Amino acid sequence: MHDAFEPVPILEKLPLQIDCLAAWEEWLLVGTKQGHLLLYRIQKEAGCNRFEVTLEKSHKNFSKKIQQIHVVPQFKILVSLLENNIHVHDLLTFQQITTVSKAKGATLFTCDLQHSEKGEEVLRICVAVRKKLQLYYWKDREFHELQGEYSVPDVPKSMAWCKDSICVGFKRDYYLIRVDGKGSIKELFPTGKQLEPLVAPLAGDKVAVGQDDLTVVLNEDGICTQKCALNWTDIPIAMEHQPPYIVAVLPRYVEIRTFEPRLLVQSIELQRPRFITSGGNHFVWRLIPVSIAIQIQQLLQDKQFELALQLADMKDDSDSEKRQQIHHIKNLYAFNLFCQKRFDDSMHVFAKLGTDPTHVMGLYPELLPSDYKKQLQYPNPVPVLSAAELEKAHLALIDYLTLKRSHLVKMLNDSDHQSTTSPLVEGTPTIKSKKKLLQIIDTTLLKCYLHTNVALVAPLLRLENNHCHIEESEHVLKKAHKYSELIILYEKKGLHEKALQVLVDQSKKANSPLKGHERTVQYLQHLGTENLNLIFSYSVWVLRDFPEDGLKIFTEDLPEVESLPRKKVLSFLIENFKNLLPYLTAGSEFHNCLIQLYCEKVQGLMKEYLSYFPPGIFSHGLQHVKMVFVRELTKKLVVTLKELERSTVEIGLGILHKGFME
């Protein structure tokens, strides 16, 4: 709890019994049981919460019975219930202006000041006359009937306006009467065990309704607007709304609470308090609001950030000072939510702030470089999270970072490349560059996905605008043994040689998902002409160990493969892999080269066979021997070229026969 108000005595041991009170600005109006009306001027002494109280006017014969008074300073009038009738007096002179003759027998009234569509102030009054409600409005120094009377089930004991409805408390039940022409009457709920019902108007066109030690808030349709009722320590006698506080008079205390957040703020012990604005007493206390700045300081120490925010918004500071303090409190609030393990709520608040995302990431272990994290400051020590808590926290962070990333990507094309983030704690360094911030966010998302859902890593790395930091991402992916994802990182960053080296290394490991040569073939097929040297270099081991699949690097029906320079590919294969001749059938130009290679092969075979015959044997006319030689040589050639296409073989054979027969 903190001190929202300080009780200061104004009138002590007054010789007259007080029946009702009204106050405005520096004036206090007191109606007594003896029928006296007293006007006091209350002036605050400089530098302290002490007051100079002066009796400015006393009207000893104001009425025989003063039951209720209500001041309307906007119209400079005093509305009173005197001897069971409604009277209106001038607020300055106490001279009577008018009475409401039809309201004889009245026991209660309630006033309401609204603004019309034209911006004019409209005063309405509802008067309870036995079991009827009468409605009037103020114009030309008179009360005029607003509409017809409303019959009600019993004599009203308490009532208050609620926009175009009136909430009425009877002896046993509460009702809501619509006065906007519909005239509907809605029964709400019983009053409870308390002797008197209690209805008090609230800001925002709502009413507080008491049921024993509970208070609920209703709108003009009679619907409860708060999740939970306020629970007082005793049954309230009277209530007054002083936003953000609701003040209730209990039999021994004045208790101050708030609706949102639902808190007991302060309890002030006074001598038999009876009413906030009226009561049968000889004492009057003034509840002086404690300085908002002091209240905020107390609330922040107690970690009551929601109430501190409401008070900060009520301060009379300049707009810039107010925004700065509210922003600071919200940061403290978001940090406190994180410490309470309310991760989703914490990230939701951080998302609305311009807090540097790296300061939010710093709440988590192992997401930021240690050197940078040492520079970050927090209001209190960051909590240590269990494995289950950390996973939940990471999921909340992912939503937060995804939102921030989307916002930054949209802003990246702006002429201003600087971010406008603010520190969580003043004096802590922030990241100014949008690109740098995006790099940190993407890298952190990668780490979070590795902790929570590995299936999301690859889609992140495949993004065209992926900004992951290469070295840091490389480190965490290797540590997690996510080599397939590491290949994607390298590929998207144009680090093809690193990717190919990983593929070579992993191809030899029995338990690796990248075992074998297939991924290398696929990777090389998509590199294109600009990476021709890499293709040649890393295709060697595949062509050597898996020649058929290795040739697909240069022959597959893919745009990148078809665009490769064929002459350079041909030269590479001729120089290193003459035995893989089928590739050379790809075009007429290469057919000629292929035939030349066939001829070279034939010449080698001819020399081999001729070495078996005596010199000059074919010059002696041994035609049949020559034919046998050709036949055997042809068989040898067919066997040698058995993997070639049939048409190519026929070309080679045709050339061979022609050469020998000549």
Q: Kindly report, residue by residue over 438-482, the tens digit of the pLDDT.
A: 999 999 999 999 999 999 999 999 998 899 999 999 999 999 999
| pTM for the model | 0.63
Residues in a beta bridge with 284: 11
- Rounded CA-CA distance 486/517 in Å is 17
Inter-residue contact 56 to 105 (CB < 8 Å): no
Range scoring the smallest mean pLDDT among 6-15, 198-207, 376-385, 399-408: 6-15
- 311-318 average pLDDT score: 86
Confidence (pLDDT) at 358: 95
Please give the full DSSP string across 440-488, using - where no structure is assigned. HHHHHHHHHHHHH-GGGHHHHHH-TT----HHHHHHHHHHTT-HHHHHH
Give which of 471, 487, 485, 467 is closest to 369, Cα–Cα: 471
Tokens of 421: 């983030």
Is residue 656 very low, low, confident or very high in pLDDT (cuts 50, 70, 90)? very low
When pLDDT is cut at 50, 70 and 90, the band that residue 662 belongs to is very low
Strands 230-231 and 5-11: unpaired
Compute the mean pLDDT over every residue in the chain, rounded to the nearest whole number: 85
The pLDDT score that the predictor gives to residue 641 is 53
Statement: residue 47 has pLDDT above 70 = yes
Whole-angstrom Cα distance, residue 429 to residue 180? Answer: 58
pLDDT digits (tens, 9 = 90+) for 166-193: 999 999 999 999 988 767 899 999 998 8
Helices (H) and strands (E) in the chain, counts: 20, 26
Q: What is the pLDDT of residues 59-100, one digit of tens each?
A: 988 999 999 999 999 999 999 999 999 999 999 889 999 999
pLDDT of 276 reads 65
Close Cβ partners of 359 (under 8 Å, ≥ 6 residues apart): 376, 423, 424, 425, 428, 430
Q: Measure CA 134 to chain center.
A: 50
What digits encode the pLDDT tens for the residues 594-651?
Answer: 555 556 666 666 666 666 666 665 555 555 655 666 666 666 666 655 544 444 444 4
Q: Which amino acid is at 153?
A: P
**pLDDT per residue over 245-294, tens digit each?**
899 988 888 999 998 888 899 898 876 665 564 333 445 666 767 888 88
Whether the bond into 244 is cis, omega within 30 of 0 = yes
